[in-house]
Structure 1
Amino acid sequence: MQSEPIIRRKLSDEVFARLKALIETGELQPGDEMPSERMLMERFQVGRPAIREAMQALANMGLIEISHGERAKVLQPTARSLLRQVDAAAKIMLAASSDSLEHLKSARIFFERGMAREAASRADAGDIAALEETLKRQQAALEDSDAFIAADMAFHTRIAQISGNPIYTAVSEAMLGWLKEYHTEMLIWTGRENVTLTEHEEIIDCIRSGNPDEAEQAMIRHLERSRTLYAPKGR
């Protein structure tokens, strides 16, 4: 029989495990207020630091929301909240390796070509109108780089939303958010912004026509052309 050492857990780790179990079993439901610090201290017979550390760990996992002056509340986990938890780690990974940035660009193309196909198969008149409205916002932001890039991100996320799958939308938002850190100034003041607008208009036309193959190819051309607009900082 193999012997294994018994590892003593920190008090906060034990409190965290018990509170997490209350959420997992449904004893605490999304929208419920968490018990007060004093109630938890009495229930688990531990000090305030252990309670606060455990609560912060739950918040970091996206399981609860801590607001100053109010009771913490149990959250309904979503694809968006789960992906936000890896934001910091993803940005560190990208900053540490130019290869990671290239891999992310390739992953984005693989993902968005599928989103374009899905949009061409599913889009209705309301979806097309929403894409056209986003394009108008981008056209109006030609002299404002931040607004132009924000509209660009909204355009691609709106295509993912047509799928009706919130995981696709969350993945789109996450990848675009990570890439935003690496936008170069080549996007604006060089005429390339007009190329972007033309390509977006072509993508909308392909989605409107309901042709998945054409929509996919238009998206690939757009992203392959624009991938050079994202470069490691300092270059």
Structure 2
Amino acid sequence: MKNKSDGTTSKIVRLKLSDQVFERLREMIASGELAAGDIVPSERALMEKFGVGRPAVREALQSMQSKGLITITHGERSRVNTLTASVAFQQLDDVAKLLLSSEPSNIEYLKQVRHILELGSIRLAAEKCTSKDAAELADLIEAQRAQLGHAEAFMKADVAFHTRIALITGNTLIHAITEMMLTWLFEYHSSLLLWSGRENTTLEEHAAILECLSENDVARAAQAMEDHLNRSKSNFTSPAKP
């Protein structure tokens, strides 16, 4: 096989048996041969099907579970998971946290992504918001109000409010990305947040956003979210340099 960059011939790498079993199982899921909720064939059946030993099968099944494709339960047969956007993005969780903690500038990039995504999401949500959606958002605001004085719980309630708006868009990718993005952002900054006197402001801004959504007013909803995001930037500070 030629390497296009320098014209040399690259070596052919032989995959481990467990990797080959993993690929075959993945293909079975992709083709629908194994559907969500189906029981995964027993280790013995897979050994016979693929002509490999038990160690290769077990390693492949563990890899399938670590990637969220199947669930292995002690004492029960493994089952194929329902594949969702959330499952896909959860695979990025550990790497994303390392990336954010190792390079501070990535936090600023993440804030920019949040700004762009939430301004787009609020426009879609304003068009589709129903009375049921509005009522649930109102309940989330009151749940957040009940956490005044408890920073971590207040932040989690904040994430729930913004994630619920993303759900209104009807776009599962937007919902999953928003949930993961906010979780990463707030978790990283949990020890740096300055809440003094700003919790009530956050609640007031959430109420203003809700009013616009309830009226299906796209322009006002976008402006309310813009104001909220711009103001909330001051909630984050960097650790003081020694």
TM-score, normalisation: structure 1: 0.92
1:218 aligns with 224
What whole-Å deviation, never above 9, does each CA across 1:202-223 have from its counterpart, x for those lacking one?
1111212222111111111111
Separation in 1, partners of 2:239, 2:147 = 24
Identity of aligned residues (%): 45
Gaps in structure 2 of 5+ consecutive residues: 3-8
1:93 is aligned, of 99, 102, 107, to 99
2:51 is equivalent to residue 14 of structure 1: no
2:93 is equivalent to residue 78 of structure 1: no
2:176 is equivalent to residue 167 of structure 1: no
What is the Cα deviation at residue 187 of structure 1?
Answer: 4.0
2:143 is aligned, of 124, 134, 137, to 137
Where 1:186 maps in the other structure, the secondary structure is coil
Separation in 1, partners of 2:200, 2:54 = 57
1:118 aligns with 124
Q: CA RMSD in A?
A: 2.0
Separation in 2, partners of 1:144, 1:104 = 25
2:93 is equivalent to residue 54 of structure 1: no
1:183 aligns with 190
What is the Cα deviation at residue 110 of structure 1?
Answer: 0.6
| Range moving further from structure 2, 78-87 or 114-123 | 114-123
Where 2:152 maps in the other structure, the secondary structure is helix
Amino acid of the structure 2 residue aligned with 1:211: D
What is the Cα deviation at residue 226 of structure 1?
Answer: 1.2
Q: 1:142 to 1:73 in 2, by over 3 A?
A: same
Q: 1:202 to 1:55 in 2, by over 3 A?
A: same
| Range moving further from structure 2, 148-157 or 53-62 | 53-62
Gaps in structure 1 of 5+ consecutive residues: none
What is the Cα deviation at residue 57 of structure 1?
Answer: 1.7
Where 2:123 maps in the other structure, the secondary structure is helix
Where 1:76 maps in the other structure, the secondary structure is coil
TM-score, normalisation: structure 2: 0.89
2:29 is equivalent to residue 23 of structure 1: yes
| Range moving further from structure 2, 122-131 or 205-214 | 205-214
Separation in 1, partners of 2:29, 2:41 = 12
**Native 8 Å contact 1:95 1:232 kept in 2:** no
What is the Cα deviation at residue 120 of structure 1?
Answer: 1.6
What is the Cα deviation at residue 143 of structure 1?
Answer: 2.3
**Native 8 Å contact 2:167 2:175 kept in 1:** yes
**Native 8 Å contact 1:101 1:232 kept in 2:** no
Q: 1:231 to 1:69 in 2, by over 3 A?
A: farther
**Native 8 Å contact 2:193 2:237 kept in 1:** no
What whole-Å deviation, never above 9, does each CA across 1:182-231 have from its counterpart, x for those lacking one?
2345343x111111111111111121222211111111111122123345
What whole-Å deviation, never above 9, does each CA across 1:110-160 have from its counterpart, x for those lacking one?
111111112221111111111111001011110222221111111001111
**Count of aligned pairs between the two proteins:** 234
Q: 1:49 to 1:229 in 2, by over 3 A?
A: farther
Separation in 1, partners of 2:139, 2:130 = 14
Separation in 1, partners of 2:125, 2:21 = 46
Q: 1:234 to 1:25 in 2, by over 3 A?
A: farther
